[in-house]
Structure 1
Amino acid sequence: MARWWCISHRTVIVTAFLMFMVFLTINPVKSQPQANLLITGCSQINATNLPNFFGNLNETFRDLRNKLSNNNSYFATSEQTRNSEPVYAMAQCRNYMSTRDCLSCFDSADTFIRACAAANGARAVLDGCFLRYESNSFYDQTTLPGNVGLCGNRTSSRQSVFETAVDGLLSNLSIATPKINGFYAAVTAPVSGTNTSTAYAIAQCAETVTRDGCKDCLAVAYANIRSCATDVTDGRAVDSGCFMRYSASAFFSNNKSTDITSFLRDDDSSNKGAIIGGVGGGVGFLIFLLVVVVLLWIRRSKRTSPGDGLYGATELQSPKDYSYSDLKKATKDFSEGNKLGEGGFGDVYKGIVKDGNIVAVKKLALGSSTAKDNFESEVRVISNVHHRNLIRLLGCCSKGPELLLVLEYMENGSLETYLYGEKRGTLSWKQRCDIIFGTARGLAYLHEQYHVTIIHRDIKPSNILLDNEYQPKIADFGLARLLPEDQTHISTRFAGTLGYTAPEYAIHGQLSEKVDTYSFGIVVLEIVSGKKCTDVPDESAGEQYLLEHAWNLYETRMHLKLVDETLDPSKYNEEDVKKVIEIALMCTQSPVSVRPTMSEVVMLLSDRSRVQNPPTRQNANLANIRIQVDNSTSTTFSMSNADATITELTGR
């Protein structure tokens, strides 16, 4: 009896195994690691109240996991906003996954994202799922800087045939998915004449975005991923609100595919039908040529202008070594008509280099004994820092009669022009706030997110450049210094621009990152008021230097008298303006210890309701320093050769 049972049991096992193998033959699904990590990103800002932050983070993650587990759902959101460290979180699995696999992928994403420690925002994108949290709601976001196409490394024997099949799938998915409830679709297509019999593809959007948002996001994803199919048999596109993937290997079962035919038969179908119908004829040939041109343009753009990553980091690239003759030709022999501006260490010219890109060429003044040091400092610093609010170094030239830096071109020039130059009064309050916030983020990166602390030392409106969308980029790193990791400050000879320089540095040469914080505060006051901090007041008429004037208005609760008269009062919120002024004054406080760090400034600017501790003006000598500038001198200099005076005044 026992022997019969054993034989029968083995027979059942063998039969089941054979049936399983037959099933795989009919419906092949190659096992792939759904927990394969594609992208992680961490915010550049840390939470301040860690117990509150981690309590909220853990609670939202538990809630997300419960929703994915109990509701048989592929998508969930959760938020905890009960204290000073709000957390908004989102999780999403691919719809072809089982609940068990979804939870396993979620747990892996949880592990990866915890590496961001106390960052107040982070995301992890895996093959099988997506997990993200932020300190503000992001549920409706679709595309963000940092969207990427990730190409594999396996090739097909007849890549052109495979590419055609994949392009058709991806095109169909980008059209159909936004119209499907749940914003998800998985499709397959046969690939004839290759060793790859079937192409597999999926598209998915976050369920909290709109139909148009999903459509826009997948359009970007399609552009990012389609170039992969020209070389390899698997690719992925990742963005804030959507995900797209294709492969020559099955990563979902055939019974998990979606019939999208009906979603291609509306207003979009006629356009698509015309494209498909003309593939074999002249129209198809023209479209093919157009696609080739677009792909080449996209690839060149990626090489020359890498996009900002999530939270500001960008792709690292080494600066190019330009020849002097090429840059001389690009700037029309450094003609006056191409001059963009003049700086303390040289002039800047607009140029068009050989590849057609517009650049800014900075020519350092060789007459200065510090020119070579400034050149080497700027190349060393800028070539290794990459952030959306920092100017990017494209290349340099040190082998000609002059030292040249090639920088990205900023269409709208310097902030100085818009505050008290020829374009004064053209910036709206929102644009001014964006400039303030972007500059703060750039400084926070230099001080706290880069692997060493970089002190700029010359923050002022002429060193803040604006791109075509009026987003700021900090420029001119010739005076930048590195702060040793084990030191809170260093003692050094003063170098910078009087009026923007912190008193402890101007008088005693004590340099720390709080020197940049002080300069930032002065710049914010200039942005709010449209006035220059170094303008000499007419004391007989009761005028004061800008900083002193701002403190007096603040202490008498008359903040709004500081606001630039060119701004329309109906276009800004008075309380909002008051908070910005208070943040600026916080940055100019003495002693140094009471000034906020730039990451704290970013936090205060992003949530101005947190500005609860009002700034105070101290009576210490360092707090009552007035810097007077001789109008005949250059505004950027080293103290040893400056034709200026620093007067230390007693308390009023």
Structure 2
Amino acid sequence: MTFLVVLLVLLLTEPTVLSQSNDNKISIHCRGTPPTSNFIKNRNSTFANMRMTLLSQRVLYARAQDLSGGDSVYAAAQCRNYLSVDQCVGCFDVAFFELAKCMVGNGAYVFLDECYVRYESFDDFYDNPNATADGASTQFSSCGNVSVSEQSSTNYTQSVDKFLSDIRDATPKTSNLYVANIRQFTSENATVYAIAQCSANINPAICGACMNTAYSILKACLPRTEGRFSDMVCFARYSETPFFNVNQTVDIRSILRGGHSSKVATTAGAISGVVFLLLIFFAWLWYRLQKNAKKTKQEDLKGTLNYNYKDLQLATNNFNEENILGKGGYGEVFKAIIDDKNVVAVKKLQMQHAKAKEEFENEVKLISNIHHRNLLRLLGWSSDGSNLYLVLEYMANGSLDRFLWGSKKGTLDWNQRYEIIYGIAKGLSHLHNEFHIKIIHRDIKSSNILLSDDFKAKIADFGLARLQPEDKSHISTKFAGTLGYVAPEYAIRGVLSDKVDTYSFGIVILEVISGRRCTEMNSDRPSMEYLLEQAWKLYEKKIHIKLIDETLDLNQYEQEHVMKMIEIALLCTQSPASKRPTISEVMLMIQDGKSLGKRQLTKPTFVHNQERRIHIGSSKKTTGAPNAIYKSKESEEFECKYQQTR
């Protein structure tokens, strides 16, 4: 509260250099769970620290954090490079004024033309601006209301389009990932100002991908005379109205390949010399690394680290059995301590055919682009002979199945189980919706859900993940997955879509609620029903409350909540697949506490024992999973029995 008073005084007494007109578009988004008073206090202190950093260090980018009292707050702010520091602070103050209104969530961001400010309860977004708590898109765009005359619209569109494409191409090639340029178009009697800027601490490749998106969206604004695009990764804007000074431009022609021939020749000669020197340097560096067996921290495979095998061998005490976290179908997972302080998990994969390494690298490239707080992060990899090693996040509590029917059975209360279910939904929503193409996990199950030390769920094991093109409702492929969790249309006919993940998620919800394996028969009943079948029969009789884990001590409100979750799970397991909701729809149902609405449930399709035996072995996949989970010992026997298809 003290900080808030001080900052309000500053806002009232200190001249705000930046004028926020109607043209300075604001996009603000608040999300997450309602913050505590301590969280708000920590949020305010981070804002005070960032403001001080901007002023005292005379910079245009700042970060701050406050972790006191268990309410972690991480924040970042960045201004456009054409601003002075005082103007930047003025924009920051306006952004704080907007964000101070966010009293409904523990994460928020605001986009202004001159700056953006963001805070979260996690720090993933520092190095990966796309990381969000709810999987929602952070894009914002707008086009101006004024268009050029119809007679000159074609020439104008072509000319400005070329200008914007130059801005797109030049931005990732600059040292600070920023350009500002002015271009005059005599025939159209127009002068256009344009800038582009990528977030600090990202690499040129990520910047380039965002600039491609920005260019596509701004191009659609033409022939209007103004357009803007904002994302956590980049910002781009063009306008005929000046918004930076003429002396603040960057010479993009010398950066682009299409510059003057003399400049190109000079640049090419300089680059050739630099490349030659770099080749000599890297040859020497490689020799030193090989000779001394030091860890290679050279980035490879889109951001993952290539660890030296001997360093991993040392970190795991020569892969000693005492450090084994779990075993799965592809190998063992070891606890390792890197650099004497960082605890990680190292997955040892045994390659069993000639193309396994190529498949492994392809899968690593896929997963290295995935960053979300509910998805297990791949940190790096290594190889030694026929063995490949994955370095993964270490999750202190291991896999979810340990807490449902393993050694930790009965230790999760309903609130923890609900947060785990919601976290899985958010992770899946990110896979299905946050890329230009759907990523289908194909193996969602309780043993593939890891729990952090505060019981936050992370989806792991992307070894079976596949891409679903945007223009196709499904793809046909050989069955690969874990029986009991797999949707009927996929297990029987090989029809794969994102609704296969929806089905598996519904099964996991039933496991979380009941504390039972989906493949475990109910021996108390003559019919020996599997979990899904029992859940449906109890629902038909309106007594699905009997499915709830007996270890849960629920009040009446919680019982009603759980029963709604059972209905959502049954909705996820409907057949045909068209009757199932998307994961995004499921996530909203879970978040709002609503179940079916106007939807009517029908009896799910049950895959029985005989059908299971028919389809075992229909897939020949043998390569290791790049994000393979480290499974609990309690699930090892279960894995051997039910993962024969893998």
TM-score higher than 0.5: yes
> Displacement of 1:384 after TM fit?
0.4
Is 1:521 the equivalent of 2:506? yes
The one of 383, 399, 413 aligned to 1:398 = 383
Correspondence for 1:481 among 466, 487, 505? 466
- List per-residue Cα deviations over 1:534-593 (Å, max 9, x = no partner): 114448734310000000011110011000000012386121111100110111000010
Match of 2:453 among 468, 472, 478: 468
1:71 is matched with none
Q: Find the aligned partners of 2:338 and 2:616 in 1 and give their Cα distance.
A: 31
Count of matched residue pairs: 417
After TM superposition, give the deviation of residue 241 of structure 1 in Å.
Answer: 11
Is the Cα contact below 8 Å between 1:324 and 1:400 reproduced in 2? no
CA distance in 2, matches of 1:329, 1:336: 14
Letter of the 2:458 partner, please give it.
Answer: K
Once the 2 structures are TM-superposed, how far is the Cα of residue 378 of structure 1 from its aligned partner? 3.3
Do the aligned partners of 1:438 and 1:472 also contact (CA within 8 Å) in 2?
yes
SS of the residue corresponding to residue 352 of structure 1 reads strand
Residue identity in the other structure for 2:619: S
Partner of 2:339: 354
Residue matched to 1:217: 43
Change in CA separation of 1:539 and 1:363 when aligned onto 2, cut-off 3 Å = same
Q: CA deviation at 1:343?
A: 1.8
Compared CA separation, residues 420 and 580, structure 1 to 2 (3 A): same
Query: Which residue of structure 1 lines up, in the alignment, with residue 21 of structure 2?
Result: 104
Pair 1:417-2:243 in alignment: no
The CA distance in 1 between the partners of 2:564 and 2:303, in whole Å, is: 41
Q: Deviations over 1:443-477 (max 9, x none)?
A: 01101122221011111111100011100010010
Would the aligned equivalents of 1:429 and 1:572 in 2 still touch at CA under 8 Å?
no
Change (3 A) 1:443 1:627: farther
Aligned partners of 1:498, 1:359: CA distance in 2, in Å? 30
Over 3 Å counting, the alpha-carbon distance change for 1:574 and 1:539 in structure 2 is closer
Deviation at 1:600, TM superposition (A): 0.4
Cα deviation, residue 388, structure 1 = 0.7
The gaps in structure 1 that reach 5 residues or longer are: 1-73, 76-92, 114-122, 124-131, 143-209, 258-299, 647-652
In the other structure, the counterpart of 1:626 is 608
Of 584, 607, 618, 1:599 maps to: 584
* 1:401 CA displacement: 4.1
Question: How far off is 1:434 after superposition?
Answer: 0.4
Number of the residue aligned with 1:551: 536
Assess, with a 3 A threshold, how the Cα gap between structure 1 residues 387 and 96 changes in structure 2: closer, same or farther: farther
Closer, same or farther in 2 for the Cα pair 1:404/1:108, shift >3 Å? same
Q: Hey, what's the Cα distance between the residues in 1 that align with 2:308 and 2:567?
A: 48
| 1:496 match: secondary structure | coil
1:301 Cα shift?
A: 10
1:49-68, aligned counterparts within 5 Å?
A: none
Deviation at 1:487, TM superposition (A): 1.0
| CA-CA distance at 1:402 after TM superposition | 1.0
Would the alpha carbon gap of residues 569 and 96 (structure 1) be closer, same or farther in structure 2, given more than 3 Å must change?
Answer: same
Q: CA RMSD in A?
A: 4.4
**Displacement, 1:97?**
9.2
CA distance in 2, matches of 1:221, 1:252: 14
Secondary structure of 1:506's partner? helix
Matched ranges for 1:364-513 at <5 A: 364-367=349-352, 371-372=356-357, 375-513=360-498
Shift of 1:245: 10
Q: Which amino acid aligns with 1:547?
A: L
* Partner residue in 1 for 2:183: none
Aligned-partner Cα distance in 1 for 2:64–2:337 = 33
Distance 1:539 1:615, change over 3 A: farther
Question: Relative to structure 1, is the Cα distance of residues 374 and 544 closer, same or farther in structure 2, using a 3 angstrom cutoff?
Answer: farther
- SS of the aligned residue for 1:394 comes to strand
Classify the secondary structure of the residue corresponding to 2:509: helix
2: CA distance between counterparts of 1:500 and 1:326?
Answer: 38
Mapped contact 2:125–2:131 kept (Cα < 8 A) = no
**Residue identity in the other structure for 1:585:** L
5 Å-filtered alignment, 1:60-209, equals 95=12, 104=21, 107-110=23-26, 113=27, 123=28, 132=29, 141=35
Against the structure 1 CA distance between its residues 224 and 451, is the aligned structure 2 distance closer, same or farther, given a 3 Å change threshold? farther
Question: Contact conserved, 2:511 with 2:517, CA < 8 A, in 1?
Answer: yes
Aligned to 1:287: none
Give the aligned residue type for 2:21.
S
Q: Aligned letter for 1:215?
A: K
Indicate conservation of the 8 Å contact 2:513/2:548, yes or no. yes
The amino acid across from 1:220 in the alignment is: T
Higher relative contact order (CA 8 A, sep 6+): 2
Q: CA 1:644–1:409 in structure 2 vs 1: closer, same or farther (change >3 Å)?
A: closer
Q: 1:319 aligns with which of 304, 311, 322?
A: 304
**Identical-residue share of aligned pairs (%):** 44
How big is the shift at 1:306?
9.0
* Conservation of the 8 A alpha-carbon contact between 1:222 and 1:237: no
Deviation at 1:329, TM superposition (A): 1.2
Q: CA deviation at 1:362?
A: 1.0
Q: Distance in 2 between matches of 1:474 and 1:636?
A: 25
Change (3 A) 1:369 1:556: farther
Instruction: Encode CA deviations 1:247-291: one digit per residue, 9 max, x unaligned.
Output: 98544999xx9xxxxxxxxxxxxxxxxxxxxxxxxxxxxxxxxxx
Q: Is the 8 A contact 2:63 2:76 kept in 1?
A: yes
1:638 aligns with 2:554: no
Which has the higher Rg, Structure 1 or Structure 2?
A: 1
Letter in 2 for 1:596: P
Q: Name the CA distance, whole Å, in 1 between partners of 2:642 and 2:458.
A: 29
Contact 1:531–1:546 (8 Å) recurs in 2 = yes
Distance 2:550 2:592 in 1: 26
TM superposition shift of 1:331: 1.2
8 Å contact kept, 2:133–2:373: no
Distance (Å, rounded) in 2 between the aligned partners of 1:243 and 1:364 = 38
Contact kept, 8 Å, 1:521 with 1:588, in 2: the verdict is: yes
Report the Cα distance in structure 2 between the residues aligned to 1:436 and 1:242, rounded to whole angstroms: 27
CA shift at 1:368, angstroms? Answer: 6.4
Cα separation, 2, equivalents of 1:525 and 1:607: 19
Correspondence for 2:323 = 338
Shift of 1:638: 2.9
Conservation of the 8 A alpha-carbon contact between 1:377 and 1:479? no
1:406-453 CA-partner distances (Å, limit 9, x unpaired): 111111100011111000000010000000000001001101122221
Amino acid across the alignment from 1:450: F
TM normalised by structure 1 equals: 0.56
Aligned equivalents of 1:442, 1:624: Cα separation in 2: 27
User: Which SS does the other structure have where 2:21 is aligned?
Assistant: helix
Q: What TM-score results when the alignment is normalised by the length of structure 2?
A: 0.56
Contact 2:544 2:566 in 1 (8 A): yes
* Mapped partners of 1:597, 1:451: distance in 2: 17
**Structure 1 residues 572 and 636, CA gap change in structure 2 (3 angstroms):** farther
Distance across 1 between alignment mates of 2:523 and 2:435: 43
- Read off the aligned partner of 1:568 and give its amino acid letter: D
